[in-house]
Amino acid sequence: MAAKTTSNSRRALDRNRDPFLKGKITIGIVVSILFIAPIIWMLFVSIKPDGFSTSTPIEWFLPPYTISNYITIIMDSLILRWLFNSFFVAFVTTILTLIITSLAAFAISQMKFRFKNFIFIFFLLGLMIPGEATIIPLYEIVKNMNLIDSYSGLILPMIASPLGVIILKSFFDNVPKEIIESAIIDGCSYFKLFYKIVLPLAKPAIAAIGIFTFIGSWNNFLWPYLSILSETLYTLPVGLPVFNSTYSQAYVLPMTANAIASIPVIIAFLLFEKQIVKGISFTGIKG
């Protein structure tokens, strides 16, 4: 409480002292508008009549508007299918990542077994291995497993996240010893201890890792670009450029496709902004 009062009084003092505050706010407004202008432009272009073009910028934002482009794209293109693929792959990747990383982190944090330190260091090494630089042999391995051009081939190589194990382990380490010991005395099995007691206590870490795995998979380009050959299995980042490249001068329909691809993530961002921001300061600093 006391801290809050001092910080408020300082802020009040600031307002009096900073003669340039209004100017700085104006700069902030201008820069903010520059940052979101392309996105706003995309949304306006997507509701212009098909074939519209102009050399007067303001006309992009003026009526007439129509939603018929949305209907055309949804009915006649694979965009919805790609949207589903992206969502499905990101969702399953996230769930599997959370399951296997939290299980491994629990074992390292709470169980006794031989070579534990060695195994943990072996996992830590993964932080230094750049996936982009091993993607050619990865392609060969996935090909030999007959998983090229499949959902499994998209998902399985992406789930072993060493960073996830490390963050979760440090979270599990902080679970009070008394809770664990009393549960063990009560005859609680390790698995019960894991999902009834330890896992619920690590919710913030799980949320952060979940959000980042999901965004990472949603935006992943290189791996689906290499490993998916069928149009029906494309994810959005791979499918959209193919779709866009069939239109070289027309703006409206491809822009609608891009808007359809973006509107769900923009809504998700507005809903989860706080958690995303928290998650960045949480995982970003850790690596």
Partner 1 sequence: MNKKAWIQDMKAIPFLLPFLLAYLIFTIFPIFKGLEMSLYDWNLVRKMEFVGLENYVEMVQDPNFWQTLWNTTLFVMLTTPTMVLLALGLSLLANLNTKLKTFFRGSFFIPSILSVAVISFLAIFMLQPYTGLVNTVLQSIGINAEPFWMADKGLAWVSIVVVTLWWSVGFNMILFLTSLQDIPDALYEASEIDGASRWKQFRYITLPQLIPIGRVVILLQILASYKVFAQILLITGGGPGGATRPLIQYIYEIGFTQNNLGYAATMSYALFFILLILSVIQLKNQRMEEK
**204-243 binders of partner 1 (CB under 8 A):** 215, 218-219, 221-222, 225-226, 236-241
Shortest gap between Cβ of 111 and partner 1 (angstroms)? 5
Q: Interaction with partner 1 in 23-42: which residues (CB under 8 A)?
A: 24-25, 27-29, 31-33, 35-36, 38-39, 41-42
Question: Using CB under 8 A, which of 47, 79, 90, 165 touches partner 1?
Answer: 165
Q: Interaction with partner 1 in 140-159: which residues (CB under 8 A)?
A: 140-141, 156-159
Q: How many residues bind partner 1 (CB under 8 A)?
A: 106
φ/ψ (deg, to 5) at 140: -65, -40
Q: Answer whether 64's CB lies under 8 Å from 252's CB.
A: no
Q: Which of 62-70, 87-95, 106-114, 176-184 is the region at the interface with partner 1 (rule: CB under 8 A)? A: 106-114
Q: Which of 70-78, 175-183, 196-204, 259-267 is the region at the interface with partner 1 (rule: CB under 8 A)? A: 259-267
Burial of 27 (0-12, 13-18, 19+ CB in 10 A): exposed
Task: Say whether residue 193 binds partner 1 (CB under 8 A).
Answer: no
Q: How far is CA 214 from CA 74, 144, 175, 233, 243, in A?
A: 24, 27, 26, 18, 24
Q: How far is CA 63 from CA 66, 94, 145, 157, in A?
A: 9, 42, 54, 47
Task: Say whether residue 192 binds partner 1 (CB under 8 A).
Answer: no
* Number of C-beta neighbours around residue 229 at 10 A: 9
Q: Which of 20-28, 65-73, 173-181, 196-204 is the region at the interface with partner 1 (rule: CB under 8 A)? A: 20-28
Instruction: Please state, in angstroms and rounded to a whole number, the distance separating the CA atoms of residues 277 and 241.
Output: 29
Question: Using CB under 8 A, which of 1, 2, 6, 187 touches partner 1?
Answer: 6
Nearer to partner 1, 74 or 264 (CB): 264
Q: Within a 13 Å sphere around the CA of 160, how many CA atoms are in the beta-carbon half? A: 10
Q: Interaction with partner 1 in 37-96: which residues (CB under 8 A)?
A: 38-39, 41-42, 53-57, 60
Burial of 284 (0-12, 13-18, 19+ CB in 10 A): exposed
Shortest gap between Cβ of 35 and partner 1 (angstroms)? 5
Q: Which of 71-79, 124-132, 174-182, 200-208 is the region at the interface with partner 1 (rule: CB under 8 A)? A: 124-132
Residues 6+ apart with CB under 8 A from 215: none
Task: Say whether residue 135 binds partner 1 (CB under 8 A).
Answer: yes
CA 167 to chain CA centroid, nearest Å: 17
Question: Using CB under 8 A, which of 10, 192, 196, 203 touches partner 1?
Answer: 10
Nearer to partner 1, 75 or 128 (CB): 128
Instruction: Please state, in angstroms and rounded to a whole number, the distance separating the CA atoms of residues 121 and 105.
Output: 13
Of 217, 190, 243, 281, nearest to 81 by C-alpha is 243
Q: Which of 62-70, 71-79, 179-187, 260-268 is the region at the interface with partner 1 (rule: CB under 8 A)? A: 260-268
